[in-house]
Amino acid sequence: MSVTAPLGFRAAGVPAGLKSGGARDIALVVNDGPSRAAAGVFTRNRVKAAPVLWSEQVLTGGRVRAVVLNSGGANACTGPAGFQDTHATAEKVAALLDDSAGEIAVCSTGLIGERLPMEALLAGVDEAAGSLSRDGGLAAADAIRTTDTVTKIAFRRGTGYMVGGMAKGAGMLAPAMATMLSVITTDADVTADELDRVLRRAVAVTFDRLDTDGCMSTNDTVLLLASGAAGVEPDAGEFEKRVTEVCADLARQLLVDAEGATKAIAIEVVGAAHEEDAVKVGRAVARSNLLKCAIHGEDPNWGRVLSAVGTTDAVFEPDRLNVAVNGIWVCRAGAAGDDRSKVDLRPRDVTITIDLSAGTRSATVHTTDLTADYVHENSAYST
């Protein structure tokens, strides 16, 4: 289903030789309208890949006719020549669709610092345009994989419309190879402003709350395109709910596919004075290598939770902190609580609950354990 689940979209995924072994590496998603309203959320990294710089410009217009994506190269840190490569890619798609390059978004993923093989890439774009179809969503999702072991797609049905999506990213565990790309489509009729509002809110509580190694990619891009082909103006609340569900579904798939991870860890922060505090604490704990190693070793080492919480400026008193690991309150009032030997850390899913005892707000941040396999995969990537 993927991005072609909603009406008005065609897609394709083809091999162009950017990845070795003949795997698909060029994806094209085309919005046939009648609307082409669109919104995008991009990495906050100040070192942005050429396609991010390009697509940010495109999205200021609030209209996207097509998105062309490639794996096999991030086109990041490639200087003015790399930007020209992105521009040329957009121009190529525009020519093939007899449209304006200013409404063609570009996404790239792969290794940083190397130019793309443009001849192969443009030939692949040609082929992708020729094989666009209403059931090309799965091939497109396949073409954006890097170290992803599975294709990531999701869809939800609204009242008279659909929301579909695809994503790539092996759990944000390798963001320097350009972590996460996602294209979400809908056939509902929604203005660009409303798409922007909905997408920002959805991303903030889904993709933004994945934090598997604290690194931030140069290429992260999430796009939301509306064709309006279903002829339905959706209820604003329902539409936001469906888009958020698709983002959450895709984010969960990223987490589960995290490179080298053996545990999916939910850091659930409750009793916060502000939601922002809860997110901040969740993120600090999610970034503690020591805790992530402990969970890998199935050790409910709550001291490492507290020492991470203590690095934040969230509202809390150290002697009022409570921590549960998989439901056992091993830390109460900032000191040892229930018997830690009762904690069962064998399941893949682990929940660490942190009660700040400072209010009523909460947030959950998702991360993974730190493993020798993570080290191995990321020691050997570019060589």
Q: Which of residues 108-137 bind a second copy (CB under 8 A)?
A: 111-115
Q: Is 302 in the site for a second copy (CB under 8 A)?
A: yes
Min dist. Cβ of residue 41 to a second copy (A): 17
Catalytic status, residue 179: yes
Judged by CB under 8 A, does residue 378 bind a second copy? Answer: yes
Q: Return d(Cα 171, Cα 74) in angstroms, integer.
A: 17
In the set 20, 149, 360, 383, which binds a second copy (CB under 8 A)? 383
DSSP letter string over 2-65?
Answer: GGGSSTTEEEEEE--SSSGGG---EEEEEE--S--EEEEEE---SS--HHHHHHHHHHHTTB-S
Residue 130 or residue 318: which is nearer to a second copy going by CB?
Answer: 318
Task: State yes or no: residue 339 binds a second copy (CB under 8 A).
Answer: no
Residues 211-240 that bind a second copy (CB under 8 A): 213-218
Answer yes or no whether residue 92 interacts with a second copy by CB under 8 A: no
**Which part of the chain contacts a second copy (CB under 8 A), choosing from 57-65, 140-148, 354-362, 371-379?**
371-379
Of 113 and 117, nearer to a second copy (C-beta) is 113
Structure tokens at 129: 């345009």
Q: Which string of x and - marks every residue 268-287 that binds a second copy (by CB under 8 A)? A: -------------------x
Is 84 one of the binding residues for a second copy (CB under 8 A)? no
Where do we find the tokens 């704990």?
A: 285
Tell me if residue 228 falls in helix, strand or coil: coil
The helix (run of H) or strand (run of E) holding residue 107 is strand 104-108
Distance (Å, rounded) from C-alpha 144 to C-alpha 27? Answer: 7
Number of alpha carbons in the 13 Å side-chain half-sphere of residue 16: 30
Only one residue has tokens 């082929």, namely 127
CB of 303 to a second copy, least distance (A): 3
Q: Long-range CB contacts (< 8 A, 24+ apart) of 287-296?
A: 287/211, 287/213, 287/214, 287/367, 289/370, 292/265, 292/367, 292/368, 292/369, 292/370, 293/369, 293/370, 295/263, 295/265, 295/345, 295/350, 295/369, 296/262, 296/263, 296/369, 296/370, 296/371
Distance CA 294, CA 325 (A): 12
Closest CB to a second copy among residues 89, 371: 371
- Smallest distance from the beta carbon of 172 to a second copy, in angstroms? 11
Among residues 254, 331, 343, 356, which is the contact residue for a second copy, using CB under 8 A?
A: 331
Least CB distance from residue 161 to a second copy, whole Å? 37
Distance between CA 260 and CA 147 in Å, rounded?
11
| Site for a second copy, residues 141 to 200, rule: CB under 8 A | 174-176
Residue nearer to a second copy on the CB measure, 117 or 303? 303
Of 34, 130, 160, 318, the one binding a second copy by CB under 8 A: 318
Taking a C-beta distance cutoff of 8 angstroms, is the pair 112, 74 a contact?
Answer: yes
User: Counting contacts by CB under 8 A, is residue 333 touching a second copy?
Assistant: yes
Q: Which of 4, 43, 109, 179 is catalytic?
A: 179
342 is a site residue for a second copy (CB under 8 A): no
**Longest CA–CA separation in the chain, Å:** 68
Q: Name residues contacting a second copy, limited to 17-56 (CB under 8 A).
A: 44-48
**Among the listed residues 2, 301, 353, 367, the single contact to a second copy using CB under 8 A:** 301
Q: Could you say whether residue 74 binds a second copy (CB under 8 A)?
A: yes
What residues are annotated to the active site? 179
